[in-house]
Structures are given as structure tokens and as C-alpha cells.
């Protein structure tokens, strides 16, 4: 059985972590992005399908390509972030199942006539799950996150995933947050408002 993590770790991952809207002028090393991926990829997915695909937008040229797809209110905080992760899911994730799930032939579960909706839902659900793993890994390594919608998915897909195989889910600004630009924390639902024990 796993041991409990420290209260400091819980604070860093959840209770004191915030969604950041402003960023310190401090770069994020590529090695840190690799490290976050190496941690996040270990989280479970259905049949180990691992559909998450990520484009890390860092350069000024890449940010210029992203800018037209952003809602006006998201432009400044996104372009000022050291890194913008475009999280997407591979619609043909099942092509890699022989490598990822080698003990049985799982590809027919998702590939073939009539399987399109199962594949789409599986990719979206598990890709979204993996983005949460990635954000927790990034926080564990000392990065701050600013996940957001508020962009034109179709425009992002045309620009960054032109073959149509990967579909964008949401964006996440990454870096070292400026605490002076935080909004007050919004309320959360209490246990009895959202949960039942049967």
C-alpha cells in the first residue's frame, strides 16, 4: 500500500496551487518539460491507450501562429507565458496499441466499422485524464499552470495539427506565476453538494 504524501506536497499540488494569469520573466527549461512528461505518462489510461499529444509553444514565431486563435481576453496572459502547452488527443491512438498493450490485440476494440464513436470518446476521455496528470506533474516540479479554454479549436487544429489526426482539447500556460496577478480563489462545492456515499 502506498504511503501518504506530505502535507506540503498536497498544498503544492492542490490546496494552495492556483490557476495563474500572469507570469514572471523566467524561462522554462526544455529538460523540465521532458521530466514532466516522463512523470505524467505513467498515469493510467484505458488499455494503456495514452492518446495525449502535446505541442509546447515557446518561440515568438510559434506564439505568433497561436495568437489568431486566442480569444481577446486570453492573448496577453498566453503570449507572456514562457510556454503554452497545446493538449490534444490522437484520434488514431489505437494504431500504437500493439506497442502499448502488447499482451492482447486491443486494436479491434477501437478500429473498424461502427467503432468511430467508441474511439472518439476513448481518446477524449483518456487524453483529458492525461492532461490532468501532466499539470500535476508540472506542479510537482515547481511550475505553475494556467489551463484554459477560450480559443478556436478548429483554428489551432489547422495550424498545429494539419493532418487532422490530433484534435486540440485545451491550452495550458506554463511557467512561474506572478502572485500579484492572481484573482481571489473561487468557491468550491462541499462534499454534500457533489457527492453521495451509497
pLDDT digits (tens, 9 = 90+) for 155-169: 999 999 999 999 999
Task: Give the residue among 167, 155, 64 at the shortest CA–CA distance from 123.
Answer: 167
pLDDT digits (tens, 9 = 90+) for 90-108: 999 999 999 999 999 999 9
- What pTM was estimated for this model as a whole? 0.96
Q: Residue 154: its pLDDT value, please?
A: 98
Contact between residue 137 and residue 34 where contact means Cβ atoms under 8 Å apart = no
- 82 confidence band (pLDDT: 50, 70, 90): very high
Position 2 pLDDT exceeds 80: no
- 1 confidence band (pLDDT: 50, 70, 90): low
> CA-CA distance, 105 to 113, in Å (whole number)?
17
Contacts of 43 (CB under 8 A, 6+ apart): 129, 130, 133
Q: Residue 71: its pLDDT value, please?
A: 97
Please report where in the chains the cell 500556460 appears, as a residue: 173
To the nearest whole number, what is the mean pLDDT of the chain?
97
Q: Residue 3: its pLDDT value, please?
A: 86
Q: Would you kindly state where each structural domain of the chain is located, as residue ranges? A: 19-179
pLDDT digits (tens, 9 = 90+) for 107-141: 999 999 999 999 999 999 999 999 999 999 999 99
> CA-CA distance, 84 to 65, in Å (whole number)?
12
What secondary structure does DSSP assign to the chain, as a single string? -PPPPPHHHHIIIIIS--B-SSB-S----HHHHHHHHHHHTTS--GGG---EEEEEE-SHHHHHHHGGGB-GGGHHHHHTSSEEEEEEEETTGGGGHHHHSTTS--GGGTSSTT-HHHHHHHHHHHHHHHHHHHHHHHHHTT-EEEEE--B-HHHHHHHH-TTSSEEEEEEEEEE-B-GGGPPPPPP---HHHH----
Quote the CATH superfamily of domain 19-179. NADH Oxidase (3.40.109.10)
Position 63 pLDDT exceeds 80: yes
Position 67 pLDDT exceeds 90: yes
Amino acid at each position: 500500500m502506498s504511503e501518504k504524501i506530505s502535507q506540503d506536497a498536497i498544498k503544492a499540488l492542490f490546496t494552495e496551487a492556483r490557476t495563474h494569469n500572469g507570469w514572471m520573466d523566467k524561462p522554462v527549461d526544455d529538460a523540465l518539460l521532458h521530466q514532466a512528461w516522463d512523470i505524467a505518462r505513467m498515469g493510467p489510461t484505458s488499455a494503456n491507450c495514452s492518446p495525449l499529444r502535446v505541442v509546447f509553444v515557446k518561440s515568438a514565431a510559434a506564439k505568433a501562429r497561436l495568437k489568431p486563435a486566442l480569444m481577446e481576453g486570453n492573448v496577453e496572459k498566453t503570449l507572456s507565458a514562457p510556454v503554452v502547452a497545446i493538449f490534444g488527443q490522437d484520434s488514431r491512438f489505437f494504431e500504437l496499441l500493439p506497442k502499448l498493450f502488447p499482451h492482447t490485440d486491443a486494436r479491434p476494440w477501437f478500429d473498424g466499422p461502427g467503432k468511430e464513436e467508441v474511439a472518439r470518446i476513448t481518446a477524449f476521455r483518456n487524453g483529458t485524464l492525461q492532461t490532468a496528470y501532466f499539470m500535476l506533474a508540472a506542479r510537482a516540479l515547481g511550475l505553475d499552470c494556467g489551463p484554459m479554454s477560450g480559443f478556436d479549436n478548429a483554428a489551432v487544429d489547422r495550424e498545429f495539427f494539419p493532418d487532422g489526426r490530433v484534435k486540440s482539447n485545451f491550452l495550458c500556460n506554463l511557467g512561474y506565476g506572478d502572485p500579484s496577478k492572481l484573482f481571489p480563489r473561487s468557491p468550491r462545492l462541499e462534499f454534500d453538494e457533489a457527492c453521495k456515499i451509497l
